[in-house]
Each structure stands twice: as C-alpha cells, then as structure tokens.
Structure 1
Amino acid sequence: MENTMETAAAVVVVVVDVVAVLVVVVVVVVVGVVVVVIDVVAVVSSNRSTIVVAIRVAVVAVVAVVAVVAAAAVAAVVVASVAAVIVVVAAVVDAVVIKVLVLQK
C-alpha cells in the first residue's frame, strides 16, 4: 500500500510539472501576442513614439526575465520529480527483490 501511495505521489508531481510548463508557455505566448499587437498598432497609426518603443522594450525584458526564471524553476522541479520517481522505482525494486528472496527460502 505504501508503494502505491509513493507511486501516486510521483505521478502527481510529474503532472504538476507538465501543467507548470504549459502555464509558462501560455503566458509567454500571450505576452508575445500583446507585444506584436502593440507593434502593429504603432505601425498602423504611423506613430512609433518613444512611449510605444519603451513599453515594447520593457515588455520584452520582463518576458525574458520571466522565461529564464520559469525555466530554472521548471528545471529544478523536473529534477526533483525525476529523483522522486527514481526513489519510488528503487523502493519497488527493493520490495520485489526482498519478496523473491523470501520466496526462495
């Protein structure tokens, strides 16, 4: 029963990792679309003012920082979840080996 709980916990961790990655991708895409819309509006209105350029640069900088931080966080979580899965697999293998050894006696 304990191994089942550990396996379920490992699966939940991996699912959370995948959802986190998807959320980061969606946020980056949405912000990218906003930047493109700002650019298109600026070009259509032929008023590429300093404010529009400053906003675009700021948005791109924020997206870059968020992407780097998110990538680092996701990498850390993925490493942790892989470690958790390895621990669970090792526990299951240990349990099987112990049962086989007990059955042989």
Structure 2
Amino acid sequence: MCRGWESILKPPHHKSDALTAEPRYSTSSFRYPLIVVVVVVVVVILAIVVAVVIEVAVLAVVVGVVVVVEVVKVVVVVVVVVVVVVVVVVVVVVEVLIVVKVVVVVVVVVVVVVVVVVEIELRSSSNRRSSSRSR
C-alpha cells in the first residue's frame, strides 16, 4: 500500500533512482518548459524591440517637429531682417533724395543770385560807360 501511495504522491515525470531514492528527471520532461522559456524570451525580446522602435519613432517625430520649428524660426528671423533692411534702405534713399533736392534748390538759388548780380553789374558798368561817353 505504501508503494501505491508513493506513486500517487510523486509527479508522473519523476522516476525514482533505486540507489539514491531521489527523483530523476528525464530529458523529455524538459522539452515543454524549454519551449516555454524560449517563447517567453522571444516575446520579451520582441517587446523590447517594439518598445525601442516606438521610442525611436516618437523621438524622430519630436526631432522632426523641433527641426521644423527651428527652421520656421530662422525663416521668420531672416524675413524680419530683410524687411528691416529694406525699410532702412528706403528711408536712407528718401533722406538722400531730400538732401539732393535741397542742394539742387540751393544751387539754383545761388546761380540765380549770381546771374542777377552779374547782370546788375554789367548794366551798371554799361550805364557808366554810356554816361562817360555822353559827357
């Protein structure tokens, strides 16, 4: 009866060694757990790979967004600088034109004054000659 109970209490895949009275495992009993371990390892590796791929994809999107934002910022700065330069050039050209206009007006006034003075001198000199001839 004892032997019957021993066979019930021992797992079916254990075989008792007569000398040591310890269970002995057969190689066929390890196949199922080995497959489970391999499947678990493969699933864990695949999960890690998928997590890394997802993280890289998210980082790529974030880096892409950051790059686009930086490019837009640079373009905005360049456009603002170009607009400021154009405005400064237009203001300088307008100021130069105003100065040129003033210079032209001054030159014309000076020329007119010189012509008038020369004309007056010529008439006055002509009048003196004619008055000296008439005497």
Q: TM-score, normalised by structure 2?
A: 0.40
Deviations 1:3-39 (A, max 9, x none): xxxxxxxxxxxxxxxxxxxxxxxxxxxxxxxxxxxxx
Aligned pair count? 59
> 1:60 offset after TM fit, Å?
0.3
Q: Partners in 2 of 1:67 and 1:61 — Cα distance?
A: 10
Where do 4+ consecutive residues of structure 1 move more than 3 Å?
Answer: none
Structure 1: runs of 5 or more not aligned: 1-46
> 1:59 offset after TM fit, Å?
0.3
Q: Which residue of 1 aligns with 2:105?
A: 75
Q: Which has the higher strand share?
A: 2
**Between the two proteins, what is the percent identity of the paired residues?**
29
Deviations 1:49-89 (A, max 9, x none): 12211111110000001111221122112111210111011
> 1:103 offset after TM fit, Å?
1.0
- Structure whose CA Rg is larger: 2
Structure 2: runs of 5 or more not aligned: 1-75
Give the structure, 1 or 2, with the largest relative contact order (CA under 8 Å, sep 6 or more).
1
Q: Which has the higher helix share?
A: 1
RMSD over aligned CA atoms reads: 1.8
Q: TM-score, normalised by structure 1?
A: 0.51
Q: Partners in 2 of 1:83 and 1:69 — Cα distance?
A: 21
